Chain A
């Protein structure tokens, strides 16, 4: 058995152990994990909170409900208490003097499951607002490690994680489905989608939502890469970009899922892996990935918006005409606020949109769609998610947008559901598809 296979098996085994915790929640296990999660940087952040409450006014869940429990830093309370009791400076002295905070109980963790999962998109707006410089969203991500390892994450997320480990996709999409969609798009565009081509420059991976709901993205990529003369391929295994592991907050699940993509990239010896239109997939692959696997990648990760922007700027993509509707860009939090990709999608969109408008607080301070961070996969959170959309709705109305364009399939799905729920009429488009629509027609179709 190869080293890679052994590593994958070990990762898989650890990931399955996390899922097994759902059967027997254990508060002490959660506490151990909370404490382990608090490294130097996290400790400085936890220790610096002055309880000013400003993070509440940045959180859409608080803004729409005015429920104080949704104050972002309050969501960290069990992890903070565990840290203060077990590891913080003076913890031993305080325990001896009876001044340490009480132990975290299973009942509290069950209650906090809603606060840490249903009512947090990990969107990081609170981080941006905190005057003490506390990365609250980053700390919630850490707190979720404790919750998921000890059986306190929502049951829906454990199920999704199990499905992802079993089938490779959170919604159970396997290669036969993707193959069918690829064939459909090949017919549609008349272009060949390269599969498992060793030595290609770029590896295209996709999110299940794109494959199931927006397969036109595949055709759009084929057209774009044809015009830009990009060497690319899709893997028949390891094509799933989404990673429920980073959402449920389990590094073991995340590593097991991510290793499949990395193995595909290494097997096909690509130079780049393209992170598709999916916010958290980008976080998982670009920022968490090498740390989850404990080694740097032998390839580079590029987000599709960065690549499209680069191809346009290099003159390798030529567009003709522009859409005249009032388009507003919905910023996917993990790409923009948390990922630093703010201008690239706007430049790409500006090339095909004549009447771009900005929503209030655009870019880095945008409001989340309400479904990020795994919330869209939690059925019990649906009502709250739709309520949270009210912030976005108000912004859309203020801007007078006639359509939303985004660069995240999950945002797109969540926005469409919320728009339906509010009986609004507002198309939501994917930027890759929009760009492909306005590509200059191929001058020599016979050469395809």
Chain B
């Protein structure tokens, strides 16, 4: 079996299986811990609105916390937005997702996606540099933090290496000219899928629940969100 065939076939399906079942296991296991009903008289009973407020209020730091903050706050915006543009806006990625799910959407202009690579790359390097040098971040960091950074950075790096060779114009759906860089890129993405449910990258979905439950708990007291 060719490497690309392996990456597009069994490796992909296995990594997706681990991604979905691992993520579901993690969320369900936490939900099963349960929680007692709060017997205090609530100030607000609008739980759904409170959860939404909790989710959206934390997307931008409050003005009181913007000064003197960590570089990672800005780096974080760069690479989260950049990754979103690259993953969901780049035509070959959309074609890949369409092949798997049948769902597609219009791509971003190619130039914009290429432009997004720079800030994403710099943003990711910035947060790593800060994690290695800032005393607070160094104290907090462990294997999960560095490995998670690595598995996010790797697909970006391998993707850049595969850029331009994978789907040469005008044969968008044709066979790639250089299968090895593409296979490596795919395998690096699959490594990300394999790790995501088990480490901090799971914040991709956990963050909404965490913000939501805190939003509900604080809003029932009328406390600051």
Contact = CB atoms under 8 A, between A and B. Distances in A.
Q: Do A and B come from one complex?
A: yes
Interface of A: 38-41, 43-45, 47-54, 56-58, 62, 66, 68-69, 71, 73-74, 87-90, 124, 127-135, 138, 286-291, 294-297, 300-301, 336-342, 361, 363-365
A135 B217 contact: yes
Given A38-B33, A40-B35, A89-B30, A45 B213 contact: yes
B211 interface: yes
B29 to A, nearest CB: 4
Interface centre among B36, B206, B210 (most CB of A within 10 A): B210
Given A40-B31, A52-B76, A340-B43, A132 B207 contact: yes
Nearest to A362: B64
17 contacts: A40-B31, A47-B26, A49-B200, A50-B200, A53-B70, A53-B136, A57-B69, A71-B136, A88-B29, A127-B218, A129-B62, A133-B207, A133-B210, A133-B214, A134-B214, A138-B217, A337-B223
B41 A296 contact: yes
Contacts of A135: 214, 217-218
Interface of B: 25-26, 29-36, 38-41, 43, 54-55, 58-59, 61-62, 64-65, 68-70, 72-73, 76, 134-142, 145, 198, 200, 202-203, 206-207, 209-215, 217-218, 221-224
A128 B224 contact: yes
Contacts of B136: 53, 56, 62, 68, 71
A226 to B, nearest CB: 29
Given A128-B224, A132-B207, A52 B72 contact: yes
Contacts of B135: 66, 68
A87 B34 CA distance: 13
Contacts of B33: 38-40, 43, 87
A294 B221 contact: no
A290 B31 contact: no
Interface of B is mostly: helix
Contact of A286 (B40, B72, B200): B40
Contacts of A48: 202-203, 206-207, 209-210
Nearest to A296: B39
Contacts of B54: 133
A40 B29 contact: no
A416 to B, nearest CB: 26
A365 B211 contact: no
Contacts of A38: 33
Q: Which 9 pairs show the lowest CB-CB distances between chains A and B?
A: A340-B222, A133-B211, A364-B224, A89-B29, A290-B39, A48-B210, A365-B64, A51-B140, A53-B136
B126 to A, nearest CB: 13
Nearest to B55: A133
A342 B225 CA distance: 13
Given A129-B65, A133-B210, 16 more contacts: A39-B36, A40-B30, A41-B217, A43-B33, A48-B207, A54-B61, A57-B65, A71-B136, A89-B26, A89-B30, A132-B211, A133-B58, A287-B40, A339-B221, A361-B64, A363-B224
B30 A43 contact: yes
Interface centre among B36, B72, B203, B214 (most CB of A within 10 A): B214
Interface centre among A52, A62, A90, A338 (most CB of B within 10 A): A52
A54 B207 contact: no
Nearest to A128: B224
Contact of A295 (B32, B39, B58, B61): B39
Nearest to B200: A50
A338 B221 contact: yes
B214 A54 contact: no
A166 B135 CA distance: 45
